[in-house]
Structure formats: C-alpha cells, structure tokens
Amino acid sequence: MVEMSVCGIALDAASRSPIVLLRDPSRRRQVPIWIDQAQAHNIMAGLNGEPSPRPLSHDLMVRLLAAGELHLDRVIIHAIEDSTFRAVLKLSHDAPIDAIEDSPEGEPIEESEAKEELLDIDARPSDAIALAIRTGSSIWMLEEVVAEASIAVDVEADAEDRNEFRRFLDQVSPAAMVRHLQSRQHKDEETDQVTDDDNLG
C-alpha cells in the first residue's frame, strides 16, 4: 500500500467539478477523485482548520468517535468499481482497564496490544478523507489503485488550479458563476484560435 497525502482541491477543466488531489510520497504521482461542492467545502474546512459556528457533519462524526472511545487509525482506498473509488475506515478502541489488569501474570501490555481492531466501515472516499484530515489519521491507497488512477504531477498547473478553486469559492454567486464561465469560454476560444492559426501556418 502507498501512504497518500492531500495536496489540495482543484477544478476539473471540462466539467468545473471539484477534485480532491492525493499525492504519493515521491510527489511524482497524483490521484484525482471527483467530488461535489459540499464535499469540497468540508475537506477545505478541515485543511484550513476553519472554525464553524455549528459543527459540520464531519466535526460531529469526530466527536461521536471520541465519545465512544473509538479511534480512526487509518483510511484505506482499496478499489475502483464502475469508475467509483471505494474506501474503508479502520477503527480501533482502547482495551478496557479491567482487561489490562487481568493480563496473564499481571504483565504489562504494550500500547499496540492494548488496542484491538474493532470495525471496518465502508465510506465514500470524500468522507473518509475529511475525517482523516480532522483526526490526523493516515490515508492509504492500494498500489494497484494508484497505478490505475494516478496522473503525472505538473506542480505549477496544480498550484494554479488550487488558487483558481479558492477564488471560485470566494466569489460563488449566480452572477459570479456566469462571469467565470464566460471567462473560461473566452480563454478556450482564444486557445482554439491560436491552435487553428498554428495549423494553418
């Protein structure tokens, strides 16, 4: 498996849909996962550590895990089925105090032994990523999934996409949306014109 990091949010050039970008340790491969606007907001809020007047759904999930003495050890994105990524939450909990006291011959139990695997819970990758960000948990992806879904990293284009998405969120309104789409269409037309001219030359 490959441990991935969240390097940001971008916009799909064609559909203008948000994408969460996961990057491998070599920083040479990047896996894009298409998400919706609400999921993008949740992930961005976690990345930025933005306080909310009332808990977002993922903030509530973190509090519920803590109340139940459950821990999100890691997230595993393990498959792509019908063009959809599949993820699982790996949860554990602390062994009860009486279980530690009842250990054979009263021997101390190592911290790793004091925790036991409790549940594997299926989750949407976007939800799993949002929870991992808030709990500081690791995000893992099977190598075959990375190999199938990764793209080569263009650092400059990646940074520009993230900046564009932030500007998009700051200005999102019906009027701003129209201006944004018109601007993109104009740029695309200019690019097409340059390409046509090059072909004619």
How many CB atoms sit inside 10 A of residue 68's CB?
11
**C-beta separation of 19 from 36 below 8 A:** no
**How much is the pLDDT for 13?**
81
- Asked if residue 199 belongs to a domain, the reply is no
Domain assignment present for residue 17? The answer is yes
- In the Cβ-directed half-sphere of 122, how many Cα atoms lie within 13 Å? 3
Q: Which of 55-59, 84-88, 95-99, 146-150 has the lowest mean pLDDT?
A: 95-99
Mean pLDDT of 132-154: 91
**CA pair distance 89, 131, nearest whole angstrom:** 9
Question: pLDDT band at 51, cuts 50/70/90?
Answer: confident
pTM for this predicted structure: 0.65
More confident residue, 196 or 77: 77
**Hey, how many other C-beta atoms are within 10 angstroms of the C-beta on 59?**
18
Extract the tokens encoding 22: 């996961």
The b/e string for 103-130 (b: 16+ C-beta within 10 A; e otherwise) is eeeeeeeeeeebeeeeeeeebebbbbbb
Residue 186 within any structural domain of the chain: no
Q: Is residue 81 part of a domain?
A: yes
In this prediction, what percent of the chain has a pLDDT beyond 70? 64
Tokens of 42: 């949740």
For residue 193, name the pLDDT band (cuts at 50, 70, 90): low
Q: What is the mean pLDDT of residues 113-134?
A: 83
- Give me the number of domains the chain comprises: 1
111 part of a folded domain: yes
Q: Is 7 a domain residue?
A: yes
Domain that holds residue 136: 2-170
Q: Give the start-end residues of each E strand in the chain.
A: 2-11, 18-23, 29-34, 70-81, 84-94, 115-123, 138-141, 151-152
Residue 180 lies in a domain: no
**32 within some domain:** yes
Which amino acid appears at position 124 of this protein?
A: R
CATH number of domain containing 145: 3.10.690.10
Q: Are 88 and 76 in contact (CB under 8 A)?
A: yes
